[in-house]
Amino acid sequence: MKVSYNWLQEYFEEKLPTPEELGELLTFHAYEVEEIEKVDSDYALDIDVLPNRSSDSMSHRGIAREVATLLGRKMKYDPLLGETLEVEESEKFKVEVEDKRLCSRYAIAVIEGVKVGPSPDWLKSALEVLGQRSINNIVDATNYVMLNTGQPLHAFDANKLEGKEKKIVIRNAKKNEKITTLTEDEYELDSGTLLIVDGNADTGIGIAGVKGGNIAEVDKNTKDIAIESAHFDFASVRKTAQKLKLWTEASTRFQNNPSQHLVGYALADVVELILDLAGGEVEGAVDVCIPEKDKEPVSVTLSQINNLLGTSLSQKNVAGIFDRFDFEYEAKDDVFTVTPPFERTDINIYEDLIEEIGRVHGYEHLEARQLPESNTAPYIHKEFSYADKVRNILVGAGYSEVLGYTFRAHGDYEVISGAASDKTFLRIGLSCGIGKYLESNSKMAPLFGLERVKLFELGRVFPKSGEYVALAIGVSGKKTDKILDETKKVLERELGIKIPENSKEGILEINFSKLLEKLPEAKNYEGFEQNLTPYKDFSLYPFVLRDTAVWIPSSVDEKEILNVIEEHGGKLLINKTKFDEFEKGGKMSYAYHLVFQSNERTLTDDEVNKIMGDITLKLNAKKGFEVR
Amino acid sequence: MNEEKGHKHPISQAIRELTDIFQEMGFSLADGPEMTNDYDNFEVLNFGEDHPARDMQDTFWLKPEGSQMLLRTQTSTVQVPYMLENKPPIRIFVPGKVYRNEATDSTHEMQFYQVEGLAVDKGITLEHLKGTLLTLLQRFFNDENIEVRFRPGYFPFVEPGVELDMKYKGKWIELLGAGMVHPNVLRNGGIDPKKYSGFAFGMGIDRIIMIRHNSNDVRKHYDGDLRFVNQF
């Protein structure tokens, strides 16, 4: 949410700290200021209000109240301590709320004879700083008061409603009922959507708490208006916004359940502003309301505060912090009984008060304290101990570990939505994944200097019979069963247990959970070495594989070949692996795979041929060397 | 050449390292299923009936619709079942795979690993949380110069809730969410919040690996590519 620095300043006599200082203050004591942008002679602060504070802080008043607390200053004025609207009951409008659980308060004020026109400059620029467009003085006034108090408001053109005696009905939409919004987008609704309806015509004029309809839009010819200030059920608004994928300034505020009390204060403010900007006279108002319960006082003791925070605050410290909040409270001995103001719907238990004390006092004052020595030794987790052991055994036998995706094309359990459309099932085994990873890595085997790829995965699988941990071991290439059989024997020997499963097509999959049942309790975890090697991005371009074989005199070290290869292979030679060596008639033959790859482009044959030619030439130039 | 050693996945390496660090601070390893339900994942963790996290968008719900089954969205799911079976003092850490139904990019995955820390006892404070996290991070990053700081944060299952930033190599990094276990969660675990208090935190294992090893794409952790794994 964006707030204007100059707008906040209007709440205070004294000059505020700089925008950066204010941003820091809020970030470390209330909620994060993510960005500060200079806009003309003002600054827009982008604030990520926390979910529990979104009921009271989605407004300039809310942020100003927080700033007042954090700075220990008084606010110059407070719109929530002002007057609510005191006018006659409207004779021209009736309001009917069908389900008061979904709309516990619906108020309108009717103003006749307004003059719609452009807004004054101060109002235009106040909106523009926040990235909002000025529309006309009426609409701007409703937006301004919403941004100031946090209460969404909406203005209807009264004369666009049917009948002499106007009737506004708040009811659930009928199935397939349609509405076109102010921005000319048509929505098809269902019975879960709360609709504001012109009762005489039975047509929708607004999606409750979300957006107004185009039927009763205020335009340049509008004379008489009805301004809505209401309280809708937060869950209902959220569900509607989500279903319609229509998130608005109004819906984001309503869905965080602001206090119902805002309705009256905001309506009084917007009427005053409209009379000032557009003239006209108040005809009357309607206020249909099931009042919300008064907030219950919450008690907290000094020791509860210090015991949870770890602080050693005094009674005076705590009283001082509650004073900064301007909370109404009684302090008796070490017990504080606080009645939170109505807009702080988030304060309900004593831990909520402790959080308020903690953050205003400042988390930076907390020591980093170690837990006391534990009386009981931590236990050894059997599954993890054996899983780690198995990993070590397999890594020792040349296998690398992969962690694959749970989502697969087939399975017993399927997700309702999300995931890739062709992989909506939970895996029932690991073989399918291992098979795929063997295939993709085999194509790159020369990069790793490997003749064949050896992989394993340990992870949870989800068959109908229930979740368990599986272990799959896979090998690429030929004669895989023989290799896997040897690996299985190693595992059986190390674990001292028979493994019932057999390999199939290069993969051995084991029910690890079941195997575990037969193993004794674990006594410890195996050791390890901390690995701090930085990661290097690998090239996404294809590599080129070439072989070379060289005769050299038996008396010469193999290193001399490698030196030539490295020197002339240059930066593009990223891997070399010896795959053959033998002696014959006083000469040695060595053969190597050479892998070339660039980080920036696909290498051409010509390029690699040239390097290979160079290497051959230089090798042949050495005495007794001969490239085969 | 095939006799050469293979490579343990960096996530497994990290979990093994964390196990030693936690053990030294008296924490035992605990775990739980990845497939669970609305009750264990949300209800007992104090997510209100209308909490947005329960919506379709963040959670992988399983068919049939209405079965309330899901893939856990956080390792915190282990908290209440563990409390119900074990009396305080409790000190556990829970490394494990969690799921979020969201668009993937270089810093977001549909599946990733978290490690949960939970301590419940008489007299556990927010200062203990700070100290425990500081030690944990200094050890994992092998850097005694690491500093930590709290900012206010919000998670339904803690109160007060905090975000923790870590100063690493001279830069502040937003790292994890934590707080004091919410009294409703303690009660759901059969523990009297008047007698006991606790702290909890959840840290992304993928994230600390990416920071420590300077890697840049979480998706590489799960695509079975040895060009990634073999660097660790």
Here the ipTM equals 0.96
**Residue A214, CA distances (Å) to A180, A183, A278 in order:** 6, 7, 21
C-alpha span between A527 and A283 (Å, rounded): 82
pLDDT for B56 equals 53
* Contact at CB, A403 and B9, closer than 8 angstroms: yes
Helix axes A315-325, A302-309, angle to 10 degrees: 90
Contact of A366 with chain B, judged by CB distance below 8 Å, is answered with yes
Render pLDDT for B27-50 as a digit per residue (tens, 0 to 9): 999 999 999 999 999 999 999 877
The answer to whether residue B47 sits within a structural domain is no
Q: Compute the residue count for chain B.
A: 232
B160: preceding bond cis by omega (within 30 degrees): yes
Structure tokens at A435: 């098979």
C-alpha span between A241 and A181 (Å, rounded): 13
Is B1 a residue whose pLDDT tops 70? no
Q: Which residues contact A537 (CB under 8 A, 6 or more apart)?
A: B216
pLDDT for A451 equals 81
Which residue in this structure is represented by tokens 């690993």? B113
pLDDT for A49 equals 95
Q: Which residues contact A12 (CB under 8 A, 6 or more apart)?
A: A64, A67, A68, A73, A75, A76
Render pLDDT for B99-149 as a digit per residue (tens, 0 to 9): 998 888 999 999 999 999 999 999 999 999 999 999 999 999 999 999 999
pLDDT for A25 equals 97
Structure tokens at A431: 């073989």
* Contact at CB, B227 and A538, closer than 8 angstroms: yes
Structure tokens at A401: 């570990």
Chain B residue numbers touching A388 (CB-CB < 8 A): 12, 16
Q: Which helix (H) or strand (E) holds A540?
A: none
pLDDT for B4 equals 81
Which residue in this structure is represented by tokens 């820390």? B117
Total count of domains within chain B: 1
Residue among A379, A401, A406 whose CB faces B7 most closely = A401
Helix axes B126-140, B10-24, angle to 10 degrees: 130
Q: Are A289 and A107 in contact (CB under 8 A)?
A: yes
Q: Are B199 and B180 in contact (CB under 8 A)?
A: yes
C-alpha span between B181 and A51 (Å, rounded): 18
The answer to whether residue B44 sits within a structural domain is no
The answer to whether residue B52 sits within a structural domain is no
Structure tokens at A137: 């003085």
pLDDT for A478 equals 87
Count of alpha carbons within 13 angstroms of residue A503, beta-carbon side = 23
- Cβ contacts from A onto B, under 8 A: 278
* Contact at CB, B150 and A30, closer than 8 angstroms: no
* Chain mean position to CA A623: 66
Is B2 a residue whose pLDDT tops 80? no
* Contact at CB, A307 and B123, closer than 8 angstroms: yes
The CATH number assigned to the domain holding B209 equals 3.30.930.10
Count of alpha carbons within 13 angstroms of residue B227, beta-carbon side = 20
C-alpha span between B100 and B32 (Å, rounded): 17
* Contact at CB, B152 and A29, closer than 8 angstroms: yes
Q: Are B19 and A453 in contact (CB under 8 A)?
A: no
* Contact at CB, A27 and B151, closer than 8 angstroms: yes
What DSSP letter does each residue of A251-294 carry, written as one string? HHHHTT---TTHHHHHHHHHHHHHHHHH--EEEEEEEEE-PPPP
Which residues 222-281 of chain A have a CB within 8 Å of chain B?
234-235, 238, 242, 255
**Closest chain B C-alpha to A530 CA, distance in angstroms:** 7
Q: Which residues contact A557 (CB under 8 A, 6 or more apart)?
A: none
With CA atoms as reference, the chain B residue closest to A580 would be B1
* Contact at CB, A369 and B65, closer than 8 angstroms: no
* Chain mean position to CA A494: 44
* Chain mean position to CA A577: 46
The answer to whether residue B53 sits within a structural domain is no
Chain B residue numbers touching A426 (CB-CB < 8 A): 35, 62, 71
C-alpha span between A569 and A597 (Å, rounded): 11
Which residues 17-46 of chain B have a CB within 8 Å of chain A?
17, 19-20, 22-23, 25-31, 33-35
Q: Which domains does chain A have, with CATH numbers?
A: 2-77 (3.30.56.10), 93-289 (3.50.40.10), 298-360 (3.30.56.10), 382-517 (3.30.930.10), 544-627 (3.30.70.380)
* Contact at CB, A525 and B227, closer than 8 angstroms: no
Q: Are A237 and A255 in contact (CB under 8 A)?
A: yes
Helix axes A262-278, A137-149, angle to 10 degrees: 150
The answer to whether residue B65 sits within a structural domain is no
Strand partners, A425: A408, A414
Which residues 91-150 of chain B have a CB within 8 Å of chain A?
91, 97, 99, 101-102, 110-111, 119, 123-128, 130-135, 142, 148-150
C-alpha span between B220 and B227 (Å, rounded): 9
pLDDT for A71 equals 97
The answer to whether residue B85 sits within a structural domain is yes
pLDDT for A540 equals 84
pLDDT for B57 equals 60
The answer to whether residue B185 sits within a structural domain is yes
Which residues 551-580 of chain A have a CB within 8 Å of chain B?
577, 579
Chain A residue numbers touching B34 (CB-CB < 8 A): 406, 460, 462, 467
Which residues 174-203 of chain B have a CB within 8 Å of chain A?
180, 182-183, 197
Question: A interface mutation test: which of B4, B11, B29 has the most A CBs within 10 A?
Answer: B29
Chain B residue numbers touching A460 (CB-CB < 8 A): 33-34, 97
* Contact at CB, B127 and A525, closer than 8 angstroms: no
The answer to whether residue B90 sits within a structural domain is yes
pLDDT for B3 equals 55
pLDDT for B51 equals 75
**Closest chain B C-alpha to A72 CA, distance in angstroms:** 19
Q: Is B178 left (phi over 0), alpha (psi -120 to 50) or beta?
A: beta
Contact of A358 with chain B, judged by CB distance below 8 Å, is answered with yes
Contacts made by residues A479-483, CB under 8 angstroms, sequence distance 24+: A480/A505, A480/A506, A481/A506, A483/A454
Pairing of strands B147-152, B158-168: antiparallel
**Closest chain A C-alpha to B144 CA, distance in angstroms:** 14
Rounded to the nearest integer, the mean pLDDT of chain B is 94
Q: A566 — phi, psi (to 5°)?
A: -65, -45
Is B53 a residue whose pLDDT tops 70? no
Which residues 419-478 of chain A have a CB within 8 Å of chain B?
419, 426, 433, 436-437, 440-441, 444, 447-455, 459-460, 462, 467
**Closest chain B C-alpha to A233 CA, distance in angstroms:** 11
Domain that holds residue B156: 10-30+73-227
Structure tokens at B187: 């009660």
pLDDT for A419 equals 63
Residue segments in chain A with a per-residue pLDDT below the cut of 50: none
B152: preceding bond cis by omega (within 30 degrees): no
Pairing of strands A454-461, A400-401: parallel
Is B55 a residue whose pLDDT tops 70? no
